[in-house]
Amino acid sequence: MTISILLAALAAWRWGREEAYAILFAGILSVINMLILGNRLMALPASPQGATLRIWGAVMQRWAVTIVGLILAIVWLHLPIIGLVAGLLVTHFVFLAFLVRERNRERS
């Protein structure tokens, strides 16, 4: 979220307030997605069938939250698509980078 705030500040300075709001909205949407996934992964059942269903449910829930959030942002809030895409990509890539770093740390 910190990277989203910094990127939003840069966007507000360079392009305007609407792009900054779009980046912040997408960053918050991305954090909500990660919390949904983390919550589901922390409570995985012992059976492989149950774990598969739980992960599948988390993925579907994340897609639903993302699609509804983006529709809300574009149609109702009239946020620019470029800012939304930038916010989603930055937050997901930062999350991915931290996952890779943690995985490498565990292997060492």
Confidence at residue 35, expressed as pLDDT on a 0 to 100 scale = 87
DSSP code of residue 16: -
pTM: 0.80
**Is pLDDT at 69 greater than 90 in this prediction?**
yes
**Is pLDDT at 68 greater than 90 in this prediction?**
yes
Higher-confidence position of 71 and 38? 71
- Write out pLDDT tens, residues 5-63: 888 888 888 888 899 999 899 999 998 988 888 887 777 777 788 888 888 888 898 89
HEC sequence for 74-97: HHHCCCCHHHHHHHHHHHHHHHHH
Helix axes 81-107, 2-14, angle to 10 degrees: 150
- Write out pLDDT tens, residues 73-98: 999 999 999 999 999 999 888 888 88
Confidence at residue 72, expressed as pLDDT on a 0 to 100 scale = 95
Measuring CA to CA, which residue among 35, 2, 7, 3 is closest to residue 21?
A: 7
